[in-house]
Structure 1
């Protein structure tokens, strides 16, 4: 067993499978802010990774745990008591992808009813900007956040494909391209974290409506979203172009060891640091793009170097449970704390260990590396 395989095995056996679905050991936001358990995107990132590992290995205990976890939150009629669809929160859609996967594997009606509810109760009614893109959340009107690309748009493609609705699929493709059109900086190729259509938020440029910085994990979410969408729609040349361009542009900001900084375009900024969750999302997307034939060997080497550096330098494997370091706990714009999107803001967010936002991309990238080899 290689070191990487040992780390993944330990995470599965010592951290993931022993976790109570109502108090998972990997959800550091719940721990730090003492939140009550509810349906959330963080836990569903981990379930996504576990299901990818199940697809690779066929290990029944991974599927059994995924079902146990999801069934804790999703009733037999597909309802989710801890969720309010009228929050119009794109983060909540992330778990709908897992419902789709579990339904495909098990044919259990609970999961089909669950993802259908996300469509009928939220996405059909989800408010949009004038350009047609979803608001990120009901509490953030007229705003696009890059994170929403990963949370919602691959599911939109899955749902549209299942129901043979070209309009739904095209909606997702158009929203992804709108993110490029609106949020992409032509000089760096990187994407701004957010856009305010009213140009009035505390973080928004008064002319462009864009947030000021390029936050690594939001660019990582976009990379992963495009990689997943390209796998779902292998015929889309538009998505292939967008993915290959973003991976190539992000790779320019990789340091010699393959790591990317919390603020990738600000290498000389004091206290800027190599951030693991966003680096791993880049590695995952790059390796998947190579497997799909979208990128060549240069991106395989880039993705593999990033993954190997995280494994060697940022995971402490000396104890029973490996410890993945340098994970930015969270990042956002506006809200109760008036987050201004400045470099100082992103560097002030708490850095944690063993959060699902880092462990899940690690396992996801691992599965892609195994598929390539």
Structure 2
């Protein structure tokens, strides 16, 4: 696949800093065929990572007008959505009941809005139908997956509820019960995972088990023992993106705004004082084995800078702090290659509550180069940084 060469530095022995890291990172991912609607085996794949990347490419297309980005999005989606609107790529509707695949849904809605092609609406309808029967806790929280009964994870808010809000906005704007439900998803997650300890960081734990059956569930609310940076990053991005969608007159808008305003200064304060970026396990900064992780850091930069730009929070030193964090990221994690592409370093492969949820678990998971969860987040962070 050809690389978009407009702004890539192509010197074999030396490199020049690009005009736009957002373009550089996106073009590098495209050149490697990342986020193209296919898995490593070449078969169609419904992937939340691809959905995150398509969101970044959409913003980049809207900013630059470069149709390469739009065409790449559409080509990727067309590999998983058939002409009749059927979703392939391993998506299981009622067999799996997962929130992760629904992250591709906002792009289905976007393509329907731009092209008017009915197949994208049909595919989005399928996700919306899943939410009608998706299992919930007794309080009403969507289970993260069918195989994790009564568990709500921060990740799931980004995966399912941004789509839920966008679908409601586009097709059911006057459906108050749907808006109430979107608000409830954010609220239940916030209330059940907020750290109530006497000392900072007062952030959110990775998730909770309402039934208290998981080995990691706390006696009070069933929350997990640690705060994982990428999980909180998903939630922060979901908040700031959904605020653009939620009707301002609905009480849910004020509720989401209050969550964002509560968490934003705490996220800023949780950054490492020297580097400006964030630890993998936010609840145990500086502990031996902990390290600075790139995907969560990029997500925080995106969310907080967008929050300031959109007027959701006062600057109050946030822009300065995010500049510091971004500077560390480009100096230490954005590594140029001789062929003009960029490698993105230090993204942890996964973080799950399938096991015991301990510090030792999170720090034992390997990191990857060019993990799309991190590279897409860096593209998003770069777009916001360049908007400054």
- TM-score w.r.t. length of structure 1: 0.91
Structural mapping, 1:271-286, within 5 Å:
271-286=289-304
Q: Does the aligned pair in 1 maintain the 2:44–2:80 contact within 8 Å?
A: no
Deviations along 1:338-362, one digit per CA (max 9) or x if unpaired, are x210000000011111111111111
> 1:232: which partner in 2?
245
> 2:189: which partner in 1?
179
Report the CA distance between 1:290 and its aligned residue: 0.6
Question: Separation in 2 of the partners of 1:306 and 1:231?
Answer: 25
1:258–1:74 CA distance, 2 compared to 1 (3 A): same
- Aligned counterpart in structure 2 of residue 209 of structure 1, from 219, 222, 241: 222
Report the CA distance between 1:20 and its aligned residue: 7.0
Question: Separation in 1 of the partners of 2:28 and 2:289?
Answer: 33
> 1:364: which partner in 2?
380
- Aligned counterpart in structure 2 of residue 314 of structure 1, from 333, 348, 351: 333
1:274–1:97 CA distance, 2 compared to 1 (3 A): same
Question: Separation in 2 of the partners of 1:175 and 1:4?
Answer: 40
Q: Does the aligned pair in 1 maintain the 2:35–2:372 contact within 8 Å?
A: no
Structure 1 range deviating more: 181-190 or 201-210: 201-210
- Aligned counterpart in structure 2 of residue 90 of structure 1, from 85, 99, 111: 99
- Aligned counterpart in structure 2 of residue 352 of structure 1, from 346, 368, 371: 368
Deviations along 1:236-259, one digit per CA (max 9) or x if unpaired, are 222111112111111111012210
1:107–1:318 CA distance, 2 compared to 1 (3 A): same
Report the CA distance between 1:4 and its aligned residue: 5.2
SS at match of 1:266: coil
Q: Does the aligned pair in 1 maintain the 2:35–2:54 contact within 8 Å?
A: no
> 1:246: which partner in 2?
263
Alignment of 1:43 with 2:43, yes or no, is no
Alignment of 1:304 with 2:323, yes or no, is yes
Structural mapping, 1:1-373, within 5 Å:
3=17, 5-17=19-31, 19=33, 37-82=44-89, 83-86=91-94, 87-120=96-129, 122-162=130-170, 163-164=172-173, 165-187=175-197, 188-233=201-246, 235=248, 236-256=253-273, 257-297=275-315, 298-320=317-339, 321-334=341-354, 339-371=355-387, 373=388
Question: Separation in 1 of the partners of 2:240 and 2:18?
Answer: 23
SS at match of 1:249: helix
SS at match of 2:230: helix
What's the Cα RMSD here?
2.0
Q: Does the aligned pair in 2 maintain the 1:160–1:167 contact within 8 Å?
A: no
Deviations along 1:293-344, one digit per CA (max 9) or x if unpaired, are 012222222223222211112111143221111100001012xxxx210000
Which blocks of at least 5 consecutive residues in structure 2 are unaligned? 1-6, 8-15
Q: Which has the higher helix share?
A: 1
Structure 1 range deviating more: 253-262 or 318-327: 318-327
SS at match of 1:75: coil
Question: Separation in 2 of the partners of 1:49 and 1:190?
Answer: 26
SS at match of 1:147: helix
Which blocks of at least 5 consecutive residues in structure 1 are unaligned? 25-29
Question: Separation in 1 of the partners of 2:145 and 2:336?
Answer: 38
1:111–1:5 CA distance, 2 compared to 1 (3 A): farther
Report the CA distance between 1:114 and its aligned residue: 1.1
Question: Separation in 2 of the partners of 1:21 and 1:7?
Answer: 18
> 1:27: which partner in 2?
none
Q: Does the aligned pair in 1 maintain the 2:153–2:206 contact within 8 Å?
A: yes
1:367–1:22 CA distance, 2 compared to 1 (3 A): closer
Structure 1 range deviating more: 97-106 or 13-22: 13-22
Deviations along 1:262-319, one digit per CA (max 9) or x if unpaired, are 0123123111100000001000100110111012222222223222211112111143
Report the CA distance between 1:11 and its aligned residue: 3.2
How many residue pairs match? The answer is: 360
Q: Does the aligned pair in 1 maintain the 2:209–2:217 contact within 8 Å?
A: yes
